[in-house]
Amino acid sequence: MEILGIVGCILASLIVGVVIGRYLLRNLLKQQEVAAQSKAKKILKDAENNAEILKKNKLLEAKEKFLQLKSEHEQQVQSRNSEVAQRENSIKQKEQSLNQRMENLGKKEQDLDKQKDNFEKQTALAIKKQEEVDVLKSQHVQQLETIAGLSAEEAKNQLVENMKSEARSQALMQVKDIVDEAKLTASKEAKKVVIQTIQRTAAEAAIENSVSIFHIDNDEIKGRVIGREGRNIRALEAATGIEIIVDDTPEAIILSGFDPVRREIARLALHRLVTDGRIHPARIEEIVAKTKKQIEDEIIEIGERTVIDLGIHGLHPELIRMVGRMRYRSSYGQNLLQHSREVANFCATMAAELGLNAKLAKRAGLLHDIGKVPDDNPELPHAILGMQLAEKYKEHPEVCNAIGAHHDEIEMTSMISPIIQACDSISGARPGARREVVESYIKRLKELEELAMSYPGVEKTFAIQAGRELRVVVESERVSDQQAELLAADISNRIQTEMTYPGQIKVTVIRETRSVAFAK
């Protein structure tokens, strides 16, 4: 019973609480609704006030904009009206000017008509007077012909012939005087220019020979150079093509050969071998190969140094290499590079004295004997070959013509061509500058080597012992031992029939076979 009473109390409390809660909730919702309505009315009122203010502001802005646009439009209208007025004034002025010009043209036209009438009257009067003059002239001519017994045409021809004869006689006399004076002056001026050129150029007078001396510290080195049973000296001669002479000359080994490049290679190789101390055939071949490469580098360096010393620019690298190679060429015993430098300086001086292009003259002087450097095309004159090389490497046409014409193989078309020819003669004609015997000797040795090189299978040829021996190195793969013997006989027969030489020439054909294997 107590539990039921408690439950009943709880239920009664819940019911009372629910009723009170609903009442309180209804009052709260009602209060919130009233507050919301009040707030909404306030917001609506504020919005209406703001809208009214915004409307007034927009109206004010629109009025201001309208007034501004109206003012700008009025200004534009005034400006255009002013511009139109100015243009109207300008048009009126131009119209007045045109009217004035029209009036002036009308007056000028009237004046021209008057002048035309006067001119026609004067022309008619002049024609009438000319007719009268012609009649009088004809009458006078008839009277003169009657008196002289000649017609007018005959008299005119006779007068012309007399004047021609007199003019021809006077012209011949003047031409003779001019030619005589020119010859005398030209001879004096030419001698003066040549003397000044020679005086302003200092040149060495050295003759190239065919022997180089290699100095050594003591004579014990000679034995090492010779080697056991002469194997070292034979290897050195075979590799360089130079005759190595080891005799009683104290502290000196003689290198004999007509080719300066080979002699220099032999000298440098011998110097490196003696300095290194290892002298045997394998080392000799290695050093000679390296020295050949070194010589090529030195040739380029000599060419570059030469063109820099002479102030010549823009020369093709191949021409620079050929200029360096001139150091190891000779012309009638005269060193070719020294001769070319001398001619270049002569040409520059002479061209400057004559008022010509000294730079072009110096360039042509340096390159005038460039055709003597290549070993190919021996059938062409060196002047023509040099001209072809200059044209190939884009040299100036005047330089090319000067090179090709300095021995009169082609016609001289350049002003500097006679200068090159004259300076070449000056350089070669100096006492002691050249020696014909040396040139013929070197030419004979070159022909001897070229004859042997014409055979198939020949690798290298060396003319040694002043041309008394010809060594021919052949390729072992192409030439057998039996063919080597036949080749030696054939070469000796051709030498006998085709060449002129003193004494006898020994022909040695060398055939070497090497078998190489590596142990790994």
What domains does the chain contain, in order, with CATH numbers?
Answer: 200-310 (3.30.1370.10), 341-434 (1.10.3210.10), 441-520 (3.30.70.1350)
How much is the pLDDT for 318?
Answer: 92
CA angle 214, 218, 223 (to 5 degrees): 80
Secondary structure of residue 254 in the 3-state scheme: strand
Q: Which of 274, 277, 226 is nearest to 247 (CA)?
A: 226
Nearest-angstrom CA–CA distance, 323 and 306 = 8
The full DSSP string for 408-465 is TSS---STTHHHHHHHHHHHHHSTTS--HHHHHHHHHHHHHHHHHHTSTTEEEEEEEG
What is the pLDDT, as a whole number, of residue 206? 47
Beta bridge partners of 506: 469
Measured CA to CA, the distance from residue 356 to residue 422 in angstroms comes to 15
pLDDT of amino acid 333: 65
What span, in angstroms and rounded, lies between the C-alpha atoms of 411 and 328? 31
In whole angstroms, what is the distance from residue 302 CA to residue 314 CA? 16
- Asked if 284 and 236 touch (Cβ cutoff 8 Å), the reply is yes
**Averaged pLDDT, groups of 10, the chain, 520 residues long:** 74 80 80 80 81 84 85 86 87 87 86 86 86 79 67 68 74 69 57 51 51 78 82 85 80 80 86 86 88 88 90 90 86 79 88 86 89 75 89 90 87 86 75 53 79 86 80 86 86 84 80 78
Ramachandran sector of residue 457 (left: φ over 0; alpha: ψ -120 to 50; beta: rest): left
The CA angle 259-261-265, to the nearest 5 degrees, is 120
**Left (φ > 0), alpha (ψ -120 to 50) or beta: where does 208 sit?**
beta
Q: Residue 331 has what DSSP assignment?
A: E
CB 251, CB 215: distance < 8 Å: yes
Under 8 Å between Cβ of 236 and 269: yes
List Cα–Cα distances, 334 to 204, 303, 341, 430, in angstroms.
10, 18, 12, 11
DSSP 175-219: HHHHHHHHHHHHHHHHHHHHHHHHHT------B--SEEEEE-SST
Calculate helix-pair angle for 317-325, 281-310, nearest 10 degrees.
110
- pLDDT, residue 400, reads 92
- Which is it for strands 506-511 and 469-474: parallel, antiparallel or unpaired? parallel
Q: Assess contact for 348 and 358: CB atoms under 8 A.
A: yes
Angle at which helices 317-325 and 382-392 pack, to 10 degrees?
150
CA dist 182 and 24 (Å) reads 148
The enclosing H or E element of 378 equals none
